[in-house]
Amino acid sequence: MQLTSLLRTILYKGSWRIGNSLTRKTIMTTPRSMQQVLEELKGNPYYDKYADKIKQIQQTEPEEFKSRVEDLEKKKVKTIEASKSRQYSQLLNPKTKLDTKTQIKEEPLDKIMKVDLIKDKSASEIETIWHEYHIKKDCIAATIPVKEFNKLEERSAKYKTFLFPLPRSQGYEFIMCQFEQNTVHFTPLLYFQVHKENAPECLTITHYKEFKDDKGIVLMRGEYDSNILNAKEAQCLANELQLYYIQDDDEKLKLLETFNCNPDAFDHMELVKQINKISL
Question: Hey, which bits of 64-201 come out as E strands?
Answer: 139-145, 161-168, 171-180, 183-188
**What is the rounded (10 degree) CA torsion for 228, 263, 238, 170?**
50
Asked if residue 169 lies in contact with residue 162, where contact means CB atoms within 8 angstroms, the answer is no
**Spatial distance between the Cα atoms of 245 and 260, rounded to a whole number of angstroms:** 13
**Residue 130: exposure state from Cβ atoms within 10 A (0-12, 13-18, ≥19):** buried
Domain ranges in the chain are: 3-92, 109-276
- Nearest partner of 183 among 208, 210, 162, 214, judged by Cα: 208
**Spatial distance between the Cα atoms of 72 and 26, rounded to a whole number of angstroms:** 11
Which tens digit of pLDDT belongs to each residue from 158-201? Answer: 999 999 999 988 889 999 999 999 999 999 998 888 887 788 89
Q: Which residue has the higher pLDDT, 266 or 29?
A: 266
Which tens digit of pLDDT belongs to each residue from 29-73? Answer: 334 455 655 565 565 555 565 667 667 777 777 777 677 666 655
Residue-level pLDDT at 136 = 86
- Nearest partner of 203 among 140, 136, 279, 260, judged by Cα: 140
Give pTM, 2 decimals: 0.65
**Spatial distance between the Cα atoms of 248 and 115, rounded to a whole number of angstroms:** 33
Q: Find the DSSP H helices in 178-230.
A: 189-195
